Structures are given as C-alpha cells and as structure tokens.
C-alpha cells in the first residue's frame, strides 16, 4: 500500500495553523508573533536571540533532567512492590498509581496553559516544587493511602498580576485554567476506575455500597464534565477544534493504547523477575531499565531517520507497531517458570525499540498538525490521553491480578500452606522467603506465570487499536515544515 503526502488543513480558527501544515512563513522567521500568549512570545524571543552554543547547553540541561527523572523512575519501579507489601497490600501495586496517572495527565493541560501565559521557566520551577514536595511526602508516609496521596500531590498557587487585585487574579486564573473542568474530569475518571481495583477487598464484592457509590459518582462526574464543557465552560478545558483533525485524534488514541498496554504488562514485572526468575532487586532493575535505555536509543535513531526523510507514518506503521506486537507475543511464551532470563531481555529490547519508534513518531505527528502557538497544548492533550490510558492499564492489571493470582495460588499451593495464602498473596517478602525449588515457591511461580500470561494477552490485543490509530494519520512530510523561529537544530 503506497503512502502519499497530504497538506494538512484544519478548518478551525486561523491561529491553529500558519501555513496549512503547522509551519512558520519564511518572511516572519525573525519576528515574534505579537498575537501569541506572553509565554509563547518570550520563548520565541529567546530562540531568535540565542546562539548555537546556548542551544547546545540547553539540550545538555534537558538531558540531565531526563537522567534524574529516569533515576527516580527506576528506583520507584524497583521498590514500589516492597512499599505496598510493607502495608500487606502487594496486589495494590498498580492501584497506587491510578490517581497520580489520571490527575497528572489532566493537569498537563493546566501546566501547558501556565507555560503559555507565564513562560517556560516559571512552569519548570513550579514542576520542581511539586515534584520535591511529592517525594518528601513519599518518604514520610506510613500507609498505602498516604503513599498514593504523595504520588498525586500537586500545588497550584498563583497570586498577583499587574493591575489586578488578588481576588480578581484568583477568579481570572480559575477561569483561564478551567478549574471546574479539571476537578470534574480528574475525580470522575478516578472514581470510575477505582472500583475495578478495590472490589476484591470488599466483603460483598461488586455489590458493596462503596463500590456502587464509586461507580455511580464516577459516571455522574464524567457526564457533568461533558455537559460543563459543552454548555457552561467560559474557557474549554480541551481544544476540541484540534481533536477534529484525524492526525491529532489518531496520535492521541495511539498514545492511549501505548500506555494502556505498557502498564498492563509491566505492573507486576519487577515482582515476577524476583519471585519467578530469582533475580535480586538490582538485577531485576537492570532488566526493566533495558526497556528505558532501548527506548531512548531507538528514539534518537528514528528521529534522525525522520529528519532525513521527512516521513514518520511509514516508520511507525511498518516497524514500530509490528515490532511491539512481536515482542509482546514472544513474552507471552517466555514469562513462565524456568525460562532463561536472556529471552526476557530479548523481548524487552524488541519492545523498547518499538516504543521508542512509536513515541517519537506519535509526537511528531501531533506537532506537525499544529502551529508553534499550540505546541504546548497538543503535547498536553497527548499527555492526557496517555495518562488516562496508563490509568486504565493499571486498573486492568490490578483487576486481572486480584482475580487470577489468588485463585491459582489456592490451586497450586500444598495443602499445609493454604492457611498462609492471604499472607503469601499480600507480601512479596513472604513470597521470596520460600526456598527456590521448594513446593511452595514453585506453586507461587506457577501462579505468577498464569497471571502474567493474562496480562500479556490483554497488552498485546490492545495494539489492534494502536494499529488503526496510525492508519488514521495523514502522511505529512515534515521536511517542508518550519514551526520555530531563530536558531534551532
């Protein structure tokens, strides 16, 4: 099937696109767009004025930021099962990330607005403060609830703007950032997803009053969010005009599928490596981080390829998606007791190179459909879809695990160990305390294998949606697009 190049035209407000493809007219390359928001004007002025050396330094600083974030992410992934196990809630390992995923994704749009209104340095400083406070809360928590709250903690504090009183400023920014829409969507999605994680902890299961209330209020808040955005919101939370374009919408759906699949198969992977493959925490972290490193390396290669060819759709459609399906399909066979860890690493590398390809092509696709004025917003929209996809993936993982793992434990455990089933189920330290090769450890490993197989099957099936999403894209030649002004790579 031959792919063809089209010129993107979004039949919405003129501000969305400058040349019909998100590019900047050559005649305006050195001028700052006076119609843009203050934060956008500031960064355009910087790019016009800075030198190549300053640009290189900026990229080095970005690399250092990603290095720190990667270190924190790897540490959290390795120790998260032990945190939940310390509170005898190992099965809730994915659950503690649901609220942070939903709220973190939804607040991306608020942050994007802050970047446009106030500027990039101010938004960056706010993120540093929020992240630091969250880490302090995690270190001081003494239960699962506090640990989950630490992951979703965020602070929004804006007061004082020229020629406005504090009250006027508060009203202005609540309206500008659509605080009502933010609260309705975050609370609605979180309340809707939580019952799928908590129903096994209730004596009456799905008939428990708590579960019913969470479902009812979650659905109600999501409906109220839709009504608010459609009829009452003075400033819409999501720029729906952009979502009408099939490239933007397809990119969002792909991001949703990617994170749904990832969090579905990865949520209990660290525990699997330690309990079933008998790796230490450090060794398990190396295997997990192979995915992160491979993703970054492949993204660089794909970025260079797209830079030289101008085409991103064929790379994602014919390489990224098939390789991801291959890696997950092989992992279904290899995530079982007695497998050589080398096969697991091989699958990790396949999926890492696929993810690096998909992520970079996905971001290029959505940015190609918007002007520089709206880059922060479209990236934030992508963040919303990816975070909600991640939350759904965590929910699916928790639901499958809580349904399959205890049943398989009861089936495989020796009769004399059945009284210890609740403790084995709830604590990874207890699981590791049984000697490798013992009947109880083998029973735990086989139960892990059965649960992991279900998680991987779901994670693989999701990619059918991802494939359709990429097919939706326009094949825009990005070589003909210049979105930024001044000095840039």
Q: Which of 320, 334, 333, 327 is nearest to 348 (CA)?
A: 327
Query: CA angle 477-478-482, nearest 5°?
Result: 135
CATH of domain 43-78+241-480: 1.20.1250.20
Per-residue pLDDT tens for 365-382? Answer: 998 887 766 776 788 778
**For range 183-187, the mean pLDDT:** 76
Separation in Å, CA 49 to CA 30, 54, 286, 488: 9, 10, 42, 11
For residues 355-378, one letter each, b for 16 or more C-beta atoms within 10 angstroms of the residue's C-beta and e for the rest, the string is bbbbbbbbbbbbbbbbbbbbbbbb
| Each residue's pLDDT tens digit, 247-272 | 999 999 999 999 999 989 888 888 89
Q: What residue spans define the domains of the chain? A: 43-78+241-480, 179-233
At residue 135, the pLDDT reads 72
What is the distance, to the nearest Å, from the Cα of residue 427 to the centroid of all Cα atoms in its chain?
A: 27
Write the CB contacts of 481 (distance below 8 Å, at least 6 apart in sequence).
Answer: 19, 21, 22, 23, 368
As given in the structure block, the two tokens for residue 439 are 């009947």
Q: Does 31 score more than 50 pLDDT?
A: yes
Its pTM stands at 0.72
Q: Is residue 158 very low, low, confident or very high in pLDDT (cuts 50, 70, 90)?
A: very low
pLDDT band at 172 (very low <50, low <70, confident <90, very high): very low
Tell me how far apart the alpha carbons of residues 267 and 95 are, in angstroms, rounded to a whole number. Answer: 10
Q: Who wins on pLDDT, 240 or 284?
A: 284
Confidence tier at 155 by pLDDT (50, 70, 90): very low
In the chain, what percentage of residues exceed pLDDT 70?
A: 64
The answer to whether the Cα torsion of 271, 275, 280, 285 is positive or negative is: negative
């Amino acid at each position: 099937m031959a792919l063809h190049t089209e010129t993107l035209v979004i039949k919405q407000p003129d501000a969305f696109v400058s040349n019909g493809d998100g590019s900047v007219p050559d005649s305006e390359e050195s001028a700052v767009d006076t119609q843009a928001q203050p934060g956008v004007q500031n960064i355009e002025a910087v790019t016009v004025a800075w030198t190549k050396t300053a640009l290189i330094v900026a990229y080095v600083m970005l690399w250092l930021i990603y290095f720190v974030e990667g270190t924190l992410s790897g540490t959290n992934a390795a120790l998260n099962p032990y945190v939940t196990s310390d509170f005898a809630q190992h099965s809730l390992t994915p659950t503690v990330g649901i609220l942070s995923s939903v709220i973190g994704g939804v607040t991306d749009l608020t942050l994007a607005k802050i970047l446009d209104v106030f500027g990039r340095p101010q938004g960056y400083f706010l993120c540093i403060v929020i992240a630091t406070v969250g880490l302090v809360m995690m270190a001081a928590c003494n239960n699962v609830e506090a640990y989950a709250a630490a992951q979703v903690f965020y602070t929004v504090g804006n007061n004082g703007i020229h020629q406005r009183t504090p009250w006027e400023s508060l009203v202005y920014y609540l309206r500008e950032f659509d605080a009502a829409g933010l609260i309705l969507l975050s609370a609605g999605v979180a309340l809707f997803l939580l019952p799928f994680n908590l129903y096994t902890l209730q004596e009456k299961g799905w008939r428990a009053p708590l579960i019913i209330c969470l479902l009812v209020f979650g659905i109600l808040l999501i409906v109220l969010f839709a009504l608010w955005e459609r009829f009452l919101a003075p400033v819409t939370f999501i720029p729906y005009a952009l979502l009408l374009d099939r490239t933007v919408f397809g990119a969002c759906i792909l991001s949703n599928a990617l994170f749904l699949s990832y969090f579905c198969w990865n949520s209990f992977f660290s525990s699997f490596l330690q309990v079933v493959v008998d790796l230490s925490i450090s060794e398990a972290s190396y295997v997990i981080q192979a995915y992160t490193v491979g993703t970054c390396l492949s993204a660089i290669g794909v970025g260079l390829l797209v830079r030289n060819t101008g085409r991103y759709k064929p790379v994602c459609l014919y390489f990224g998606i098939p390789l991801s399906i291959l890696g997950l399909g092989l992992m279904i066979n290899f995530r079982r007791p007695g497998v050589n860890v080398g096969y697991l690493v091989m699958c990790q590398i396949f999926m890492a190179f696929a993810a690096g390809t998909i992520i970079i092509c996905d971001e290029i696709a959505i940015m190609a459909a918007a002007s520089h004025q709206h880059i922060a917003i479209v990236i934030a929209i992508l963040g919303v879809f990816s975070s909600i996809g991640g939350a759904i993936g965590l929910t699916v993982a928790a639901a499958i695990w809580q349904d399959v793992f205890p049943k398989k434990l009861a089936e495989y455990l020796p009769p004399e160990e059945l009284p210890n089933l609740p403790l084995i189920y709830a604590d990874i330290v207890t699981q590791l305390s049984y000697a490798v090769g013992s009947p109880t450890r083998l029973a735990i490993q086989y139960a892990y294998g059965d649960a992991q197989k279900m998680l991987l099957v779901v994670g693989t099936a999701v990619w059918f949606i991802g494939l359709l999403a990429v097919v939706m894209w326009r094949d825009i030649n990005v070589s003909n697009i210049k979105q930024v002004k001044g000095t840039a790579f």
